[in-house]
Structure 1
Amino acid sequence: MDDGRSPKRRADGLDPNRGDFLAQAEPYRRELLAHCYRMTGSLHDAEDLVQETFLRAWKSYDRFEGKSSVRTWLHRIATNTCLTSLEGRQRRPLPTGLGAPSSQPTDDLVERAEVLWLEPLPDSSSEDPSDPSVIVGSRESVRLAFVAALQHLSPRQRAVLVLRDVLQWKAAEVADAIGTSVAAVNSLLQRARAQLDAVGPSQDDQLSPPESAEAREQLARYISAFEDYDIERLVEMFTAEAIWEMPPFDGWYQGGPAIGALIHHNCPANAAGDMRLLPLTANGQPAAAMYMRLPETGGRHVPFQLHVLDLGPDGITHVVAFLDTSLFAKFGLPEAL
């Protein structure tokens, strides 16, 4: 039966209905990127997987019968593309996820280049939470701690939990999407939720949204303390249990004094003005891009670290300082200041 999606092909072999594929699919690119990011923990991988998703979808568009929405169909393709990509791959942790105790700030820094580390997500690449039709716009679903917790799940557990709890799909839809039974989906979801409860962020965490006056003020003071090279003022901003980690180094540090000592012993800055920070948002959280003035850069400030912060009512509770400077271009940041 002709469903309107399979007309006769032209003499050149192309399907005339494929011409509107991009018009149908492009509005979902950003949320597909966030979906692939949740699955992989990597912005770089997510971008490649979205491209692969679009290619697979374009090739099969003439067979799309419209039994589901284009959005659902694309998420189904993206999920299976991610599952294929994740076969045999190691998870992407943060240093706190390696299972070692906190480090001493005077210890030597140990770089683990062989580890595939979790990466941050620019907010411009996540979904628009002002659109009520886009359920996946929730900041919690791209929060760095949540994505780090997802890495403790198997790829299929990850897929089931994201499809059920983030995209709000029914169990039967998930089962059909990943080729399994409803019973298997429910079992995978139960185990995934239990594991997430054990390693995931606390539901009681009260984080300040990045656009709030409190968060903007805290971030401005954080930036000012770094730019003034005022470590004492910086230490006062951290809570007693605050955590600092900076992949690709495998150590993590707890408490303001330890974090201050770490910065004092290892930061290449020597005086006020050596560091400049630009405020931004990442993973639905306040963030800052740090540029460092080094002797070999001729006085220019060059990319150094990208900080993603958890800001609570009592101060800074967590900072992940990413040293992968290739991320600066992904965030649309300048090459130098």
Structure 2
Amino acid sequence: MDDFEQQVAPYRRELLAHCYRLLGSLHDAEDLVQETMLRAWRAIDTYDAERASLRTWLYRIATNACLTALKGRGRRALPSGLVGAETDPLAPIEPSLDVPWLQPFPTDPAVASADRGSLRLALVAAMQYLPARQRAVLVLRDVLDWPAADVAAALDTTPASVNSALQRARARLAEVDLEEEDVNEPTDREVRAVVEDYVRAFEAADVEGLTRLLAERVVLEMPPAPLWFVGKDAYAGFIERVYAMRGPAWRLRITMANDQPAVGAYVRADDGRYHAHSLQVFTVTKAGITHNVTFFDQTLFAYFDLPLDLE
């Protein structure tokens, strides 16, 4: 068993990302990686290194484990995929904990990836509209760059069926609005500067300064509440409400999620400490911040190596 763990350890992180792309859930992806390793360990005597590399074999097991897990499940979504935009910044914030919400994925900015962009929140959310097998074909062909024959072998089908599923998946994605993803992106340095300015403005409770960093049609959404806003005025109005409700004392810590800039937000409580409040994931373009998905789930902080409170 120790030898097996040593062999598969280098692939755990990329398998986690693979399962996340298919499932849209960080928690579920962790469970499925564990399931993959258990299945692989039980079947290790049947593994033939001449037919496939260990990496390819593990991906086959992981993909089929995810497809089994997805049977009978609905898609994971963001608020903008479920309800219309809200126009009242004072609308009630009522979490819907029974909805299977999309979750963010921690990424390391120091690790260069050939498939950078395949984890972006908008794309993962769009992929949730695809049937499970089309989703798997799209990831194996377009993200992992597997030949159609290899995908067919992994999914126990034919190359013709794989190519047909890939065409349908691409056509469906083309129908989903990914306009913000097509905008010419700024450099990493420019993105970092925008996020650092946002942090300074937010911590200073400077709503006017924060608003200057936003695109005109900026989107703010906040799972698990089925609530989202469009436009600078609505965004600013909601942030003013946040300061009125929770006070102006905040601290933000910069991180990365889904290959996008993100921050962990902390609010000062009566004990004088700053407690974990939300994880905010940004889309930054030449026009400014076009999207902020704010996840009110403090259990996510550990995945991003963020503490639950600050001095």
Q: State how 1:1-337 maps to structure 2 within 5 Å.
A: 20-66=3-49, 67-124=51-108, 128-129=111-112, 137-199=114-176, 201-202=178-179, 204-208=182-186, 212-267=188-243, 268-271=245-248, 274-295=249-270, 298-337=271-310
Deviation at 1:29, TM superposition (A): 0.8
Assess, with a 3 A threshold, how the Cα gap between structure 1 residues 30 and 200 changes in structure 2: closer, same or farther.
farther
The count of residues paired between Structure 1 and Structure 2 equals 307
Tell me the CA shift for residue 60 of structure 1: 0.7
- Which amino acid counterpart does residue 202 of structure 2 have in structure 1? F
Q: Which amino acid aligns with 1:320?
A: V
The answer to whether the Cα contact below 8 Å between 2:83 and 2:226 also exists between their aligned partners in 1 is no
* Contact 2:23-2:66 within 8 A present in 1 as well: yes
Judging changes above 3 Å, is the alpha-carbon distance between structure 1 residues 128 and 74 closer, same or farther for their aligned structure 2 residues? farther
The answer for unaligned runs of 5 or more in structure 2 is none
Identity of aligned residues (%): 48
- CA offsets per residue over residues 275-306 of structure 1, 9 Å max, x none? 100011111111100001123xx111000010
1:158 counterpart letter in structure 2: R
Q: Larger RCO: Structure 1 or Structure 2 (Cα < 8 Å, ≥ 6 residues apart)?
A: 2
Q: Structure 1 pair 77/313, CA: closer, same or farther in 2 (3 Å)? A: same
Counterpart CA distance in 1 for 2:41 and 2:110 is: 22
* 1:99–1:156 CA distance, 2 compared to 1 (3 A): farther
In 1, Cα distance between equivalents of 2:86 and 2:156: 42
Q: Within 1, Cα distance between the matches of 2:111 and 2:8?
A: 16
CA–CA distance in 2 between the matches of 1:199 and 1:102?
A: 21
Contact residue 146 and residue 200 of structure 1 kept, 8 A: no
Unaligned residue ranges in structure 1 (runs of 5+): 1-17, 131-136
Aligned partner of residue 238 in structure 2, secondary structure: helix
What TM-score does the superposition give when structure 2 sets the normalisation length?
A: 0.94
What secondary structure, in the 3-state scheme, does the structure 2 residue paired with 1:279 have? strand
Residue 24 of structure 1, CA deviation = 2.0
Q: Secondary structure at the match of 2:117?
A: helix
State the superposition RMSD in angstroms: 1.7
Task: Give the letter for the 1:77 counterpart.
Answer: I
Structure whose alpha-carbon radius of gyration is higher: 1
Tell me how far 1:22 sits from its aligned partner: 2.0
Equivalent residues of 1:243, 1:318 under 8 A apart: yes
Aligned mates of 1:208, 1:74 — CA distance in 2 = 36
Alpha-carbon contact 2:301-2:307 (below 8 Å) kept:
yes
